[in-house]
Chains A and B, each alone.
Chain A
Amino acid sequence: MTTAERALPRVARVRWSRVLIYAILIAFAAFYLMPVYILLITGMKSFAEVSLYRMWSLPSGVHFDSFTKAWFGSVEEGFRGLSLNFMNSVYITIPATIISAILGSMNGYVLSKWRFRGSDMLFPALLFGMFIPYQSILIPLVQSLSKIGLYGTIPGLIFVHIVYGIPITTLIFRNYYATVPTELVEAAKIDGANIFSIYRWVMFPLSMPGFVVVLIWQFTSIWNDFLFAVTIAQNPAIQPITVGLNNLAGSYIVQWNVQMAGALIAALPTLLVYIFLGRFFMRGLLAGALKG
């Protein structure tokens, strides 16, 4: 037997294992993309060709009827569109995201560079707030928001997202600032800078990557929130998109292709963020996993 002949089976075996690897990866990719396929083709079908029994068939052309209906609603059929809910989500998500990022940045800065007695206790105490089931605070939350006139309002929802966003934003910023050399802060201290000027002139200019991660993370989780929204926003006029979509999908008068178009509309902003800023999204995810 020559060397070449002996080497042959091994090469073949290696190739087969590569084929197997790709086959498994592609099969899983198909599984993950299946709902997207259904969302896209159903949304694009005309009302004439929408049938549950042909749900896997491709549409005859690109129609935007379902999207129009999901967005504007239908007066004759008697359901609201998602346009209002979408804008409510925008009004809630943007201020809540920005303010909670700023708070997180301040907390993370202090807890990583200006440790004081008790700060090592404070940090896990803050973190615990990230894991609690919010059911365990909903009852007093509704009561106190009613007392201060924020129940059933958009500012109320913004406030709630800021408060319960503190733990995760603090965590991400603290871990981020831990990678900034403490010598920079020490040097500035010796030069006579105080805590605020060090933040303003040393830390803040270095914070952009941290801000991107936190903003993306908070944008995604606030946009996708359902529990706070459904509890606090009973009034349809201020409900965000997740609640609007759930109402749309729970209604028997709304055709399923309109529901699918609505689902795509609700998913679009966070999907776009994921597609264009996926790298940072991933970092936020891994930061959310504590320190692994």
Chain B
Amino acid sequence: MAKKIAAHRELISEERKVRSTWARRLTWERMAPVLLVLPSAIAIAIFVYGFIGFTGFASLTRWNKLLPDFTLVGLSNYLVLFAHPRFQIDVRNSVVFTALFLTGCVGIGFLLAVLLDQRVKGENIFRSIYLFPMAISFIVTGVVWRWLLNPGSLEMGSTGVNLLFDRVGLGFLKWGWFTDPTVLHIRPDNGLGIFLQGIGLGALTTDKFGIPVAIISLVIAATWQMSGYVMAMYLAGLHGIPEELREAARVDGASEWQILWHVLWPLLRPITLGAVIILGHISLKIYDLVVAMTGPGIGFSTDVPAYFMWETTFHSNRFAQGASIATIMLIMVAILIIPYLVYSTRREVEA
């Protein structure tokens, strides 16, 4: 037994010797890669993680005027924020915008990709037309769509898309677009509303849980810009699905619709997930488009957290309050992104 242990020890020390000479020999070779990425790693450590930490810290302080005041006040900035009507409206707008924008982009993107995949003549031309808005800034998009969706006035007549509706005899489709302050919500005086109030969910019948119709204009402009991207992702996915798979389904007697829903759509699920993550984080951060197209709107009907954050911080100099909005935005994006990052890196390591 003792002999065995001694032999084992010898083996270990032998191994250590080998390892230490290796380590000495490889020092430069080992350090060089680290040194190469070090500047970037340090920059990201400071400018992403350090700054996020600072913003989180600032949100816990009393720094609500120009000069910094780092007296800690706990979560009071967050409590003020959650009670703030404008912030409640912003969260509602963000949820509504995200839901409509995702549905629009994924729906249109998938439809166009499937149609283009039918050996269409001029596929390249169509694809380029659908994708070009991606090259343009949200500011340009906002400026153009603000004029396109400018409803005009009763006295002077319609403009933009409303004018186009008039011309082609679809005048009944005219409406106020982003100038319409209506918020669709469950009425407290109808059957469902009375029922909800009865079970203590009366809040659901207020406009805090409604759909501000003005936001549809923002959704149209954003979908115009981003749906081509989703199409390109789906198209790349469809090209990767072997024709034999479809052929096999056809031999089994499946119709084209069944192939679409039971073969292609499930196979493209990773792409749908990727698109939802990418578009979701864009929509939670959306700012430029709102600035250029509508501003906060009537009754904040097109306001978003990013807009509120910028105004609070850089117009009103309420830095701690602005930092609290920024932190909430970061948490919302992190909830979406981190599981996806972990999932895709792990999948890559396994592969």
Contacts and interface: CB of A to CB of B under 8 A. Distances in A.
Interface stretch (B199-207, B227-235, B241-249): B227-235
B118 interface: yes
Contacts, number: 258
A259 interface: yes
Given A35-B145, A35-B224, A242 B313 contact: no
Contacts of B91: none
B54 A53 contact: no
A263 B158 CA distance: 23
Interface residues of B, number: 102
Interface stretch (B82-90, B187-195, B277-285): B277-285
Nearest to B126: A25
Interface string B163-184: 1100100000000000000000
A44 interface: no
Interface string A245-265: 110010000001001101100
B97 interface: no
Contacts of B17: none
Nearest to B230: A289
Interface string B106-146: 00100110011010100000101111111111111101111
Contacts of B50: 140
A119 B274 CA distance: 24
Interface residues of A, number: 89
A174 B233 CA distance: 20
A24 B49 CA distance: 47
A289 to B, nearest CB: 5
Contact of A132 (B39, B54, B129, B330): B330
Nearest to A135: B326
A125 B44 contact: yes
Interface in B333-350: 333, 337-338, 340-342, 344-345, 347-349
Contacts of B132: 32, 271, 274-275
A227 B288 contact: yes
Contacts of A225: 137
Q: Which of A133, A242, A259, A273 has the most CB of B within 10 A?
A: A133
B275 interface: yes
B48 interface: yes
Contact of A167 (B44, B55, B137, B274): B44
Interface stretch (A4-12, A61-69, A104-112): A104-112
A207 interface: no
Interface of B: 29-30, 32-34, 36-37, 39-41, 43-44, 47-52, 54-55, 58, 108, 111-112, 115-116, 118, 120, 126, 128-141, 143-148, 150, 152, 156-160, 163-164, 167, 224, 228-229, 232-233, 236-237, 270-271, 274-275, 278, 281, 284-285, 287-288, 291-292, 306, 309-310, 313-314, 319, 322-323, 325-327, 329-330, 333, 337-338, 340-342, 344-345, 347-349
28 contacts: A25-B112, A25-B116, A34-B148, A56-B164, A114-B36, A122-B37, A124-B342, A125-B44, A125-B49, A128-B48, A128-B341, A131-B333, A132-B330, A133-B326, A136-B330, A137-B48, A137-B55, A138-B313, A140-B54, A196-B32, A224-B138, A224-B139, A230-B291, A245-B292, A263-B143, A271-B132, A274-B135, A292-B270
Q: List 3 tightest A-B contacts by C-beta distance, closest first.
A: A224-B137, A114-B33, A274-B135
